Structure 1
Amino acid sequence: MLTRDVRDTEIRVLGAVEIWAAGRPLHLPRRQLATVIGLLALQTGQVVSFERMIDVLWPDHAPKTARAVLQTRVSELRALLQSGGFEGRLITHGDGYSLSIPPEQIDATRFCRAVSEARRAVAPPDACRLLRAALGLWRGPVLGGPPASGLLDGLVRQLDSQRLTAIEDLLALETGMDTPHNSVDEFVGLTASNPERERLTGQIMLALQRAGRTAEAFTVYERTRRWLADELGVDPGAELQGIHLDLLRATSRKAGATARDTADPPAPATPSGRVPRTLPSDLLDFTGRAVEAGYLADLASRDRGDGVLVMAVCGQAGVGKTALTVHVAHHLQSRFGDGQLYADLHGTNCAPATPHDVLGRFLRALGTTRLPDTLDERIDVYRDLLADRRMLVVLDDAMSDEQVRPLIPGGSGCVVLVNGRPRLGAALGARTLRLDVLSPADAVRLLSRVVGGERVKVAPAATAELARACGHLPLALRIAGARLQSRPHWTVSDLAGRLRDESHRLDELAYGPLDVRHSIAGSIASLGPEARRLLRRLAALNPAEITAEAAAALLAMQPARADDLLEELYDAHLVEPAGREPAYGRHYRMPDLVRLGAQEPAPECP
């Protein structure tokens, strides 16, 4: 499946577009032909509408003859494929085209499948072999690189992100096997072009340190730290800061080491008594959420008896769960004199953090010098260390209660504050807070703090319109504010006007690593097939409200089953309650940004 041998029929998009038929490449005389076949290959088996294809071919201004030119290009492609003996077919539908070809004959699909197989591999050497074979399919930028726009840009960026994640996984595996020299020279340059990928920076730093190149590791960290500060105004996350701190400590120990008798037994692995404080920095412009923050702070202050208090914050992508959780944790830290532990569980990534690895970080922060090998042993040591301590444990972006359970300490003096997109805490006895979007007033206030009060004050109507177009969603508001801040020659009205066009709204709501489209796609990917199909139907029809009866009619199923699917969408924060009537039961509505994201079919990694 993963060899680079020429196939009888193959489409390659992981680099310049190539079509192979009967064991030889077909010549594509026009760039538009490569763009059309590349777009259809990235969405193989799906119908791509004429309108979307025209937007991709002419992103700035489509000619009046765009549809006729598109039909001509498709005809040219068909003739080229037929004359070359290509086995796949270009199929015309009522409103678009699709490519009929076995998915394994597209290199992007084989890449995704190989990465998925690597993550299921038990032995690290097998996983490394599969990841290297998958990465070997890449010959350059997707579709040969720019230009890309709209739908195509989103597909390209998703594949690029999946490649970087595979590289991060490979580096982690090879560093753990003490063979970092296999990859570090090959991938170290990626940190300069992808400074927003903090996990990549961290894995490169660890690989450089293991390869005896610690000075280079510090250079990589400093470059990333400066980029984050200059471009986003933030510090590196807790995980990257922890790696940096570990490297500093290791360097200090090495510099101050004295000659010792090598026959002496190793020192016992006893904690040093240090007080860990690994919380990320609070946001200077944190806005609103007074009621929610007060509720959580009040819970943490009450007498809890003998149990461990677990507080869970859930909500849709970009609603500000991490910001609220970190803000509350800073407010509470003086009450937990024995320290605060923080971990990003990466629950929405394709490679979530494992409790085994998180406990390793926690135990190192607590001063444990030799880590137990098994998860159960790490849990025992962790609970023993925290049994008599007042410790605040903050778990960011959790995937499930099962991921969180091993990280809950046993001592009643501890509090766990966890957040994630799914509904969390039911199996943990947690107090759960569902976070909603900001109020209109707080949304305007957040824009004012990010952009600057004067620019907002002179355009109150445009600011309110911009906040509405962002759905009062904190992530979207921050992106809009960052774009205005980086473009002082724009007015608030300029950006509000750009967001009026729904077909390009999600394109506008992206800045650096912040991307509303990507965050919504992650929530959609968590759905089952039927729930996803219902979401797509609702997004296409855009009803003001939906009931189980109406959903059942859309999918030709029983209302009880449709009600279950609506609840699945609710749990994923993709629809929200809109009241109920005695005759029709519960009503739901879909936020506008979710609707726009659900209208964009995207390839999925198997």
Structure 2
Amino acid sequence: MEFRVLGPVEVRRHGSRVPLSGTKLHTVLAALLMAREEVVSDDRLSRLLWGWTPPATASAQLYTYVSRLRKILGDDILIDRRPPGYAMAIGNSSLDLIEFEELDREGREAFSAQDHEKAGDLLRGALARWNGPPLANTTDHLAAAEVPCLTEARAGTLEHRIAADLALGRHEEITVELTGLVAEFPLRERIRCQLMTALCRCGRQADAIHLYHHGRSVLAEELGVDPGEELQATYRALLDGSLVRHPRRAGTAASEPAGRQGDQDTRGVPATLPPDTADFTGRERELGLLSRALTPNESAADRPRRVLVTGMAGVGKTALAVHAAHRCKRHFPDGQLYADLRTPDGTARPAGGVLLQLLRALGPAVGSGVADDTDELVRLYRERTGGRRLLILLDNAASAAQLGPLLPNTPEPAVLVTGRTALPTVAGAHTVALDPLEDGPALQVLAAAAGAERIAAAPGAAAVIVEHCAGLPLALRIAGMRIAARPHYAPDRFARRLADPGTRLRELHSGDLDVQGALLASWRALRPDARRAFPDLGGLGPEPFPAVRAAGLLGLPEGEAELLLEAMADEALLEVSGADEWGRPCYVFHPLVRLFALSLPDDRAQGAPAGRFRGGVTGG
């Protein structure tokens, strides 16, 4: 039997999940498991179940929970009454927490012995025991008591595993992961030091310096302290150039500066794809199309493989492209590269900056005299990609002008592009246009994020949530994450919170994921006249409308109004939806995009507050 607490608490017998119902039953099981056969007193169990205000029937309820566990787990698991509480012995069964701790201990010992390869493997094995936020389906009282220690343990293991990777010269492979970890743990100075080190060794000294100053500001604002000695020492090493020196892969000199690394074969295979989505679901047909398009075809070996994924913000372009790229990695033994072509606020990154990023992964460092010469960067890029079986994922392409310099000029590298609309630069490419999900796949995405059991237990609420998310994967994932993060929070309650159109977008926000923020980037990318006109168009309602109706609302000639509508369609803020009875093209809002339009201020109204929600919503 297998017990798990590093994620949702669950029991598995012969690989199948043993059904357990209720937050409190999971809480009693987790408390007994984490005590490691020590007695857990009735008082502690009561506090973990009900806090400081237990019901009058607490003792009877506790007895009932223990009896149910004994019946469910069977004779192989002993739950013994030992006054003043209970103790649990799991015999030959496994507990993921114990496995995590043993692998972590062995990994740290290997690291101390400078066996960095073994240390990395062991520590990765330890981290693989985690399956999401720990104790996710227990009470807040247990989570408050235990989760901080578990989170600290995981962070320490991550730091040691990253240190092993840095010692092996894998700085390029872990930069994306470290960036996410700094966002997750902004006050952990060691992780910030490790990202500064990785950035410096990738030739990104300016980014490393910025990261230090940002960390100093965060520490001052949050804790009122200065950076610790380790962070200051890393910064000094960055400034004096010693941080760039790093251990190399086997067979190379450990002391050789990063800027003089010989030919590209000594650098290993570049692999800068973001991590895959473990619970990816809902796009089987489109995934099949991408996989076939990326797979080498001998009959078309002399034709460039360029694949384009299009769709509105939040429709899952990046998740699909990353998943397809990981699925097809075996076809690209010379490496896989990734670059985001937009900044966090949605503006396009200059092609020169993207080329520098890709060139760092592909070969020797680019000299400072070349960094500002885009033509020379393009030449070097095409020279280093020529003839190599590479997969290059260019995410969030903004325009043909931006994309053109980033395309190799030989057929061996495959290029996978995501963008909001079709791009002339990749004309003739395989194009996969993503629409919002149908109800069935949408429900799968929600269940994958929230937990299948919780969604299955509330089918009515799940259907309402799916309806209000209108098939948008980003919205569905946010909804699922919010439900999963609150075991006491019934899906019915969240469904009721989504019911109000005026506040729906505010509810579709979790951590760095934000539907309104994703749409805001698309709106900011519009040209100024389209950006000003967009908020008013929400008043045209949820049904398709021709340009003549928009012209009447905006006070413009029909031709000018149609140009504005086409600009909005190019940013996937409107969809073209057939034609009216006179053959004129019609446009329609996605339901959440329309709510976003209605939430924007009217620039022509003096003193209109940002985010003001204008009325007139019908149909949600």
Identity %: 36
Sort the Cα spacing of 1:177 and 1:282 in 2 relative to 1 into closer, same or farther, 3 A. closer
Contact 2:346–2:525 under 8 Å retained in 1? no
Aligned partner letter, 2:324: V
Offset, 1:406 = 1.5
Matched positions, count: 393
- Greater CA drift, 410-419 or 382-391: 382-391
Question: Distance between the aligned counterparts of 1:347 and 1:283, measured in 2?
Answer: 22
Aligned partner letter, 2:449: V
Contact 1:270–1:369 under 8 Å retained in 2? no
Offset, 1:471 = 1.4
Structure 2 residues without counterparts, runs of 5 or longer: 1-182, 187-195, 223-229, 604-609, 611-620
Contact 2:335–2:390 under 8 Å retained in 1? yes
Structure 1 residues without counterparts, runs of 5 or longer: 1-160, 165-170, 196-204, 215-245
Offset, 1:528 = 2.5
Sort the Cα spacing of 1:329 and 1:370 in 2 relative to 1 into closer, same or farther, 3 A. same
Question: Distance between the aligned counterparts of 1:312 and 1:183, measured in 2?
Answer: 34
Question: Distance between the aligned counterparts of 2:458 and 2:471, measured in 1?
Answer: 17
Offset, 1:359 = 2.4
TM-score by length of 2: 0.56
Kindly indicate whether residue 345 of structure 2 is the aligned counterpart of residue 349 of structure 1.
yes
TM-score by length of 1: 0.58
Contact 1:393–1:414 under 8 Å retained in 2? yes
- Counterpart for residue 166 of structure 2: none
1:484-563 pair list within 5 angstroms: 484-563=483-562
Sort the Cα spacing of 1:297 and 1:207 in 2 relative to 1 into closer, same or farther, 3 A. farther
- Counterpart for residue 398 of structure 1: 397
Question: Distance between the aligned counterparts of 1:333 and 1:194, measured in 2?
Answer: 43
- Equivalent position SS for 1:502: coil
- Counterpart for residue 212 of structure 1: 237
- Equivalent position SS for 2:397: coil
Offset, 1:494 = 0.7
- Equivalent position SS for 2:503: helix
Choose from 273, 276, 281 the match for 1:287: 281
Offset, 1:489 = 0.7
Aligned partner letter, 2:474: L
1:463-474 pair list within 5 angstroms: 463-474=462-473
Contact 2:342–2:348 under 8 Å retained in 1? yes
Question: Distance between the aligned counterparts of 2:260 and 2:519, measured in 1?
Answer: 50
Question: Distance between the aligned counterparts of 2:548 and 2:406, measured in 1?
Answer: 42
Contact 2:212–2:235 under 8 Å retained in 1? no
Offset, 1:557 = 2.5
Kindly indicate whether residue 324 of structure 2 is the aligned counterpart of residue 328 of structure 1.
yes
1:412-440 alpha-carbon deviations (Å, 9 max, x no partner): 11110011224334465433322111111
Choose from 309, 320, 324 the match for 2:305: 309
Question: Distance between the aligned counterparts of 2:255 and 2:575, measured in 1?
Answer: 66
Sort the Cα spacing of 1:208 and 1:473 in 2 relative to 1 into closer, same or farther, 3 A. farther
1:262-277 pair list within 5 angstroms: 271-272=265-266, 274-277=268-271
| Superposition CA RMSD, Å | 4.0
Contact 2:270–2:361 under 8 Å retained in 1? yes
Contact 1:274–1:367 under 8 Å retained in 2? no
1:535-555 alpha-carbon deviations (Å, 9 max, x no partner): 222213425221112112212
Kindly indicate whether residue 203 of structure 2 is the aligned counterpart of residue 187 of structure 1.
no
Offset, 1:587 = 2.2
Offset, 1:324 = 0.5
Contact 1:180–1:210 under 8 Å retained in 2? no
Sort the Cα spacing of 1:403 and 1:539 in 2 relative to 1 into closer, same or farther, 3 A. same
Question: Distance between the aligned counterparts of 1:355 and 1:327, measured in 2?
Answer: 25
Question: Distance between the aligned counterparts of 2:589 and 2:207, measured in 1?
Answer: 47
1:576-605 alpha-carbon deviations (Å, 9 max, x no partner): 233323325222221221111112236999
- Counterpart for residue 480 of structure 1: 479
1:21-76 alpha-carbon deviations (Å, 9 max, x no partner): xxxxxxxxxxxxxxxxxxxxxxxxxxxxxxxxxxxxxxxxxxxxxxxxxxxxxxxx
Question: Distance between the aligned counterparts of 2:207 and 2:582, measured in 1?
Answer: 65
The structure number with the bigger radius of gyration is 2
Choose from 224, 239, 252 the match for 2:247: 252
1:84-130 alpha-carbon deviations (Å, 9 max, x no partner): xxxxxxxxxxxxxxxxxxxxxxxxxxxxxxxxxxxxxxxxxxxxxxx
Aligned partner letter, 1:466: I
Offset, 1:315 = 1.1
1:428-476 alpha-carbon deviations (Å, 9 max, x no partner): 5433322111111011111111111111112212101101111110111
1:214-253 pair list within 5 angstroms: 250-252=245-247
